[in-house]
Structure 1
Amino acid sequence: MRTNNICYIASAGAGKTTKVVSDAINKANNNSLKKIAIITYTQNNQAHIRTKLENQNMAHKIIVMGWFEFLLKHWIMPFKTTVFPQLINTHLGISPVEGKSGLMRTSNGKTFVTYKKDDFRKKYITPDGNKVYSDKLSELANEVYQRNKLEIIDRLNSIFGYLYFDECQDFVGFDYEIIKLLLTKTDITCVFAGDPRQHTYSTHTTSKYTKYTGDIASFIQENINKRKIYVTIDITTLVESYRCPMCICDFASLVMPQYPKMKSHKTEDSIEEHCMLVRSCDVERYVNQFNPVALIWDSKAMKNVHTSIKQIYNMGAVKGLDFPHIIVYPTSGMLKWIKNISGELADTTRAKLYVAVTRAEISTGIVVPDDYYLPLDSILKFWESKKD
């Protein structure tokens, strides 16, 4: 029974990236004869991990790569001619795709696939023959595996001793097939870390395994650990947030009530700690007092941001970042939900609100209209500036 593979399900600010990096460094310091790699989807997180490794003078011992790079370099490229013999002298790149590639839309709004089922060249490769569509990378990697099963597994086993996957809630669709192969076919120890509540990105658009979107733990339990335990699911090690005070954890837990309540590792010793609503008429005073970073839905919301705020980020782009004070400019859907915590909220909107409010180390302010009202039993209160 294999129990060396592990999947950490974390809370925001619980230190999952720190855990991944420190574990990888520990293995590297124990003179591992095979390579150790940390793999994650977004470029921001790759840069964040590299900085952590450089700060500990370990960047030369541990490989950091993107998920797409891992698929292209270690699954597709070495065996590409078994699917595309004509590309023997071609070094394939990646063609970024938003949505699904290979679709065309008719004048009446219907879509159709532009390639035949067995036309792999047109399905996976751009017309110039030099790039793989990003939304098809993991599917192509699986196709290549079906033709080179022993060769791919032997090659991976000979290269890697440990693979660490950070922000694993970003995996979807055919990514899960690759993960399943790594866990059940190779001798590589795999460590995953993620927070399903922070599923603001997906590696690609897909209709496969939509039940498990952002929820790798459920996929593992229902599709990998059915007859034999290949992976230990750990929901206790990274449960406490080292970033957020309890007042922020309490509200964040309401945003994602289907998961265990967040806990704070911090002792509340700062009078500035709060998670409160800020009326529009009070925003200027709030900004002057706390100098917060603003979090908005997208560039269209820039017009609403107080002019003296110097740092502004999109809510979906701040995973892994933290700031002393933040101020959130919520969408209309978020404002409606805050009035009725048990009400409906779109999954993506809910995830971005969770990410936004948990970026703060000390205080979170949420901007609301002047005439905004709350039920008497609301966990949130209105911020009021102190009188001079």
Structure 2
Amino acid sequence: MHNFLTLAVAGARKTQGLVDYCKVLPSGRKVALLTFTQTNQQEVKSRLASQAGSAGVDVMGWYTFLIRHFAQPFLPFKFPGERVGGFDFEGRPNRFAMGKNRFMSTQNEIYACELGRLALELLEATPALLHRLECIYDEILIDEVQDLAGYDWEILDALLRSKIQIRMVGDVRQAVLSTNPRGQKNKKFGYAASLVWFRQREAEGRLNITYTETTYRCRQEIAAFSDSIFDANWGFPSTISNNNHETDHDGVYLVRTEHVYEYFSRYNPQCLRNSKTSAKHLDLPFRNFKVVKGATYERVLIAPTQNIENFIKKGTPLESTAATAFYVAVTRAKQSLAIIIDQPGNSKLPYWTP
């Protein structure tokens, strides 16, 4: 077995682990490092340049990978005489579009939402595509692998069967982004449910999964609370905190609305909410849950949704999409986490009072 997946908790330094791996690559090893967001691509490039002299690693986004190694060289195998004219991130084909118009605009700009399907059909059209890729790269590293969606799972499946070594890192509990959020293909494996896909490949003997349960960000109280967001049936190991720093305000608290402004004034937490429509009655500098993925804050104050309130007050389980968004918000905090709730219900969390 030569394919590996590391599922790590929030704050486990997943990206840094890939950078450290690249630092000790054998000379002449041909490697691509793929990740979804442009922010993460720039972060990886910066770390490689400062810590490993770039190490001869090709860093690119998933879309770029599919265009550069699938669409651009092999589009004529499906549409003779045609060439890629660009990339259209926002556009979508007409509902009844057929042939070339299904995948590209009139300027031959490939629609982002159809790129995965096009790449798979090109992969199936000729064995030369995978052979060429095997000649270019000895190894492909994929960061934030849980962000893949739709036809991307078919492409990843083909890569796992290839001669290329595939090494991936991610956290399905932070699966709040998607390469194709509106796609229906393989929807059952979307977001946190990607864990099912990974475990199926492990059962087939094509993937070795390891778990990293140590967080260097969240104190143990916050780590333990984050573990409670997902039901035990998911089978995640308990998170262990390596943050032993102590301040005058550490842990997880509830805060009543009447005390919110004093709490904010005293501790200056980063305020988070699920969407712009949440907590309109509070004049605080909120950011949305999904936007802060990858960020770290000393303290966090959360305006909960009704579902989150029910989870805290009644123990009502969160469905997977809501759970991942809440998990991301909770695990941004290093020292303290506070949640705005007026009535505790059955919660055992302590209240902060002035």
Instruction: Output the TM-score relative to the length of structure 1.
Output: 0.84
Contact (CA 8 Å) 1:240, 1:265: kept in 2 or not?
yes
What amino acid is the match of 1:114?
F
C-alpha separation between the residues in 1 aligned to 2:299 and 2:281? Answer: 18
Structure 2 equivalent of residue 49 of structure 1:
44
2:4 to 2, 6, 28: 6
What amino acid is the match of 1:270?
T
1:55–1:325 Cα change, 3 Å: farther
Q: Would you say 1:122 and 2:117 are equivalent positions?
A: no
Residue 244 (structure 1) shift:
0.5
Alignment of 1:309-320 (within 5 A): 309=285, 312-320=286-294
What amino acid is the match of 1:372?
Q
Give unpaired runs (5+ residues) of structure 1: 104-112
Alignment of 1:182-201 (within 5 A): 182-185=159-162, 187-201=163-177
Structure 1 equivalent of residue 84 of structure 2:
91
Q: Percent identity?
A: 28
1:49–1:270 Cα change, 3 Å: same
Structure 2 equivalent of residue 367 of structure 1:
340
1:276 to 242, 253, 265: 253
C-alpha separation between the residues in 1 aligned to 2:282 and 2:140? Answer: 42
Structure 1 equivalent of residue 126 of structure 2:
148
Alignment of 1:163-202 (within 5 A): 163-185=140-162, 187-202=163-178
Residue 299 (structure 1) shift:
2.9
Give unpaired runs (5+ residues) of structure 2: none
Structure 2 equivalent of residue 110 of structure 1:
none
Contact (CA 8 Å) 1:32, 1:161: kept in 2 or not?
no
SS at match of 2:340: strand
Alignment root-mean-square deviation, CA: 2.1
1:277–1:55 Cα change, 3 Å: farther
Residue 60 (structure 1) shift:
6.6
Residue by residue, what CA displacement relative to the aligned partner does 1:95-125 show, whole Å, maximum 9, x if unpaired? Answer: 2248xx446xxxxxxxxx413xxx3212111
Residue 268 (structure 1) shift:
5.8
C-alpha separation between the residues in 1 aligned to 2:294 and 2:54? Answer: 19
- Pick which of 203-212 and 357-366 moved more: 203-212
SS at match of 2:59: strand
What amino acid is the match of 1:79?
F
Instruction: Output the TM-score relative to the length of structure 2.
Output: 0.91
C-alpha separation between the residues in 1 aligned to 2:229 and 2:301? Answer: 17
Alignment of 1:221-300 (within 5 A): 221-222=199-200, 224-227=201-204, 229-235=205-211, 238-257=212-231, 258=234, 259-267=236-244, 269-300=246-277
Structure 1 equivalent of residue 18 of structure 2:
20
Contact (CA 8 Å) 1:24, 1:164: kept in 2 or not?
no
Structure 2 equivalent of residue 332 of structure 1:
306
Residue 91 (structure 1) shift:
3.4
Residue 252 (structure 1) shift:
0.8
Contact (CA 8 Å) 1:251, 1:379: kept in 2 or not?
no
C-alpha separation between the residues in 2 aligned to 1:221 and 1:345? Answer: 22
SS at match of 2:253: strand
1:302–1:24 Cα change, 3 Å: farther
What amino acid is the match of 2:28?
S
- Pick which of 49-58 and 317-326 moved more: 49-58
Contact (CA 8 Å) 2:254, 2:349: kept in 1 or not?
yes
Contact (CA 8 Å) 1:95, 1:131: kept in 2 or not?
yes
C-alpha separation between the residues in 1 aligned to 2:53 and 2:339? Answer: 40
1:374–1:55 Cα change, 3 Å: farther
Structure 1 equivalent of residue 351 of structure 2:
382
C-alpha separation between the residues in 1 aligned to 2:62 and 2:303? Answer: 32
Contact (CA 8 Å) 2:22, 2:52: kept in 1 or not?
no
Contact (CA 8 Å) 1:217, 1:233: kept in 2 or not?
no
